[in-house]
Structure 1
Amino acid sequence: MQILGTDHIELYVGDARAAAEQLCAGYGFHVYGQGGPETGLAGQRSVLLGQRDIRVLLTSGLSSGHRASRYVAQHGDGVAVVAFGCTDAEAAFAAAVDGGAAPVEAPRRIGRGADEVVVAEVGGFGDVTHRLVQRAAGGTAFLPGLLDTSMAPAGPVEEDLLHTIDHAAVCLPAGELDATVAFYERAFGFEMIFQEYIEVGEQGMQSQVVQSPSGGVTFTLIQPDISRRAGQIDDFLAWHEGAGVQHIAFSTHDIVAAVRTLGARGVEFAQTPGSYYDMLPSRLGDVDVPVADLRPLGILVDRDHWGQMYQIFAKSTHIRRTYFNELIDRHGARTFGTSNIPALYAAKERELAAVRDTTLSEGSAL
């Protein structure tokens, strides 16, 4: 049994069609399929979106008792399923359950012949589950017989700017990080590939990254340091009501073009103070992408032993301000830009200090 990569993510949302329109208009996704009770998806309405190798399933419950409705009522819109593509879904299910994962749905076969798909589901962190998906070689159906995919593009769309799901960032309550890492090692054979303690002013957080041996699935797991001042991780846990996916990072091969294009479509990104770019030469030296291109767009850059990485975070559009998206462009780098957090914080502090100094000097001149 081998976990190949992230087959798809499924978000439970209040209105699947409205959420699909937002992602298509802003991020350039295309509708690859849709279904509901008329196609065999009892009690729900689902829309499948795609772009390059990314598949996002949006699901709304049609009654208060549906699993998606209960999720949205507690957590708001968010990632409820992270699906793993695997070579043998039955073996993966058995291994995960033996490793301590709660069984949610036993393996079942959907479709026939080249389009046959084997799916099973087990518990993950919080209320997020993992769907184990085995697809026949050459098969093209997503969930055969359950989604109408007649509207899907005939082939890859050349102007698509997003390529794959790079990683998911997960917020965990304090004290759950080590146990969660051990769970993914035991149940799915993941490996812990990176860890660090991050300080942001008076706040602190611990982060560990787990990854499948194939490198196709990566989770950045974060818990707050409750001995320090409460911060954004504490806010997420309170507003989301427990552990969950804070953001999904979509990879792109040209982040400047992607940010310009998505920004023109109405996607808003987090702002970066100009002093961040003033500090770049001393912090990182020469970078591949001209700073003149990065600065007006607010794109962050980091470097590790393997290369450089460019990233930017979109502003959350969710009412609870919990889930959001990230764009990431790797130039060989394997880590996750976490040094950008203290660097950005320091840059903001310098900017605020400059404003305070200017205000004081103006006041003394009066």
Structure 2
Amino acid sequence: MSNTDSTSLNLPIENPEAQDFLPLLGTDHVELYVGNAKQAAYYYMSAWGFQPLAYKGLETGSKDTVSYVVQQDKIRLVLTSPLGAGGEINKHINDHGDGVKTIALWVDDAAKSFKETTQRGAEPFMAPETQEDENGKVVLSGIHTYGETVHVFVERSAYNGVFMPGYMPWNPHYKAPDTGLRYIDHMVGNVGWNEMNKWCDFYRNVMGFAQLISFDDKDISTEYTALMSKVMSNGNGRIKFPINEPAEGRKKSQIEEYIQFYNGAGVQHIAVATDNIIETVTALRDRGVEFLTVPATYYEDVLDRVGEIDEDLAPLRDLGILIDRDEEGYLLQIFTKPILDRPTMFIEIIQRKGAKSFGKGNFKALFESIEREQANRGTL
């Protein structure tokens, strides 16, 4: 499915409790505010295999900001930096470091999406606005969500350009091979103490989502730390937002560490799907992406826990890929170390072999691995 399909599709219902009054067709793009967009684009191209798509800057008449757009299959990242001192983007970078500002959602009707959400209590970010050029028009609107994160609704059925008005095609000589990433599976938000239910209610009441699954501190805990999480999803299951909050533990949890260094709530990680996690992770590791590791003992009894799988265990063990099973099938997953200077955002690679869950059986091993990294940073 292309991001420029002009009409809603009859998408299967994965979460029948969701009201789905918007509706949402998928993730249009994710915009990160970064200190150096040119270098960030090179990183996502070289290390992750994203392809150059579009550019906005001084050459296109943008005097205040520069943006590079990179894409891999259905995943689109917009990397934006300020071109001068002061202003909202500089403040965002100063407060949070590089991080996700916008989760843009693809819709049929951006004006309707704005009306439906704001009349249910969403704080407006941008009223419906039409942007046009010789390739057609795009309608944008937006609302605030947790921290300084925003959702922008993108209506692009009448647009045939490379990305949206104001951007020019970007076709540099250098293009790295892709790494097999296909689409965003889910995006996780970290919020403060006792804020998880508030934001789950926001997605339920304001955006028509329903809770897909929940984990408490008995599910996600180690000897030292704990957290709680609920997964909110729209009806067709294309948009899934787990929301995490800290829980009481003996030491500082990864959520507390994130909130300390990010200076508030924000996007903790982006989970991207692949059809062959062994090939993808091998390529990423060869390009310098660093992953969390679990003890070799994890693999001694993993097949007793998850049962038969299609893959050979040896390459999964060599790469540190985790395995879990639910009633629908199994999944394979691995998590990078933080990809930014601050210990904030990271990326998950996931391959679903029928499973609809999020790897509950791996939580203990994963979180102990994160704690080892926290101990190395002196923040546990």
TM-score (norm 1): 0.89
Tell me the CA shift for residue 322 of structure 1.
0.8
Alignment of 1:1-366 (within 5 A): 1-111=22-132, 115-136=136-157, 139-144=160-165, 146-151=166-171, 160-197=179-216, 198-226=220-248, 229-344=251-366
Tell me the CA shift for residue 63 of structure 1.
2.5
- Closer, same or farther: CA 213–228 of 1 in aligned 2, 3 Å: farther
The C-alpha deviation readout for 1:229-252, integer Å capped at 9, x for no partner, is 321111111111110111101110
- Closer, same or farther: CA 160–52 of 1 in aligned 2, 3 Å: farther
2-side partners of 1:35 and 1:177: how far apart? 36
Counterpart AA for 2:215: E
Q: Say if 2:292 and 2:370, in contact at 8 Å, map to a contact too.
A: no
TM-score (norm 2): 0.86
Overall identity of the aligned pairs, in %? 35
Counterpart AA for 1:192: Q
User: Aligned-pair RMSD on alpha carbons?
Assistant: 2.2
- Classify the secondary structure of the residue corresponding to 1:268: coil
Tell me the CA shift for residue 38 of structure 1.
3.6
- Say which structure is richer in helix: 1
- Classify the secondary structure of the residue corresponding to 1:20: helix
Q: Say if 1:307 and 1:331, in contact at 8 Å, map to a contact too.
A: yes
The C-alpha deviation readout for 1:98-135, integer Å capped at 9, x for no partner, is 12211111111122587321111110110001110011
Counterpart AA for 1:102: E
Tell me the CA shift for residue 137 of structure 1.
6.1
Report the counterpart of residue 358 of structure 1 in structure 2. Answer: none
2-side partners of 1:347 and 1:168: how far apart? 21
- Closer, same or farther: CA 114–43 of 1 in aligned 2, 3 Å: closer
- Classify the secondary structure of the residue corresponding to 1:2: coil
Q: Say if 2:52 and 2:71, in contact at 8 Å, map to a contact too.
A: yes
1-side partners of 2:52 and 2:68: how far apart? 7
1-side partners of 2:62 and 2:238: how far apart? 28
2-side partners of 1:40 and 1:95: how far apart? 34
2-side partners of 1:341 and 1:106: how far apart? 40
Q: Say if 1:300 and 1:312, in contact at 8 Å, map to a contact too.
A: yes
- Classify the secondary structure of the residue corresponding to 2:256: helix
Gaps of 5+ in 1: 350-366
Counterpart AA for 2:246: P
Q: Say if 1:52 and 1:160, in contact at 8 Å, map to a contact too.
A: no
Q: Say if 1:115 and 1:136, in contact at 8 Å, map to a contact too.
A: no
Counterpart AA for 2:148: D
Tell me the CA shift for residue 287 of structure 1.
2.0
2-side partners of 1:340 and 1:38: how far apart? 48
Tell me the CA shift for residue 82 of structure 1.
0.3
2-side partners of 1:279 and 1:115: how far apart? 57
Q: Say if 1:167 and 1:250, in contact at 8 Å, map to a contact too.
A: yes
2-side partners of 1:204 and 1:348: how far apart? 12
Q: Say if 1:273 and 1:348, in contact at 8 Å, map to a contact too.
A: no
- Classify the secondary structure of the residue corresponding to 1:87: coil
Counterpart AA for 2:225: Q
2-side partners of 1:346 and 1:240: how far apart? 22
- Closer, same or farther: CA 278–183 of 1 in aligned 2, 3 Å: same
The C-alpha deviation readout for 1:16-50, integer Å capped at 9, x for no partner, is 01111111110001110111144243411100000
Counterpart AA for 1:122: I
- Classify the secondary structure of the residue corresponding to 2:42: helix
Counterpart AA for 1:104: F
Query: How many pairs align?
Result: 345
- Closer, same or farther: CA 236–190 of 1 in aligned 2, 3 Å: same
- Closer, same or farther: CA 345–6 of 1 in aligned 2, 3 Å: closer
Tell me the CA shift for residue 317 of structure 1.
2.9
Counterpart AA for 1:151: N
2-side partners of 1:345 and 1:32: how far apart? 36
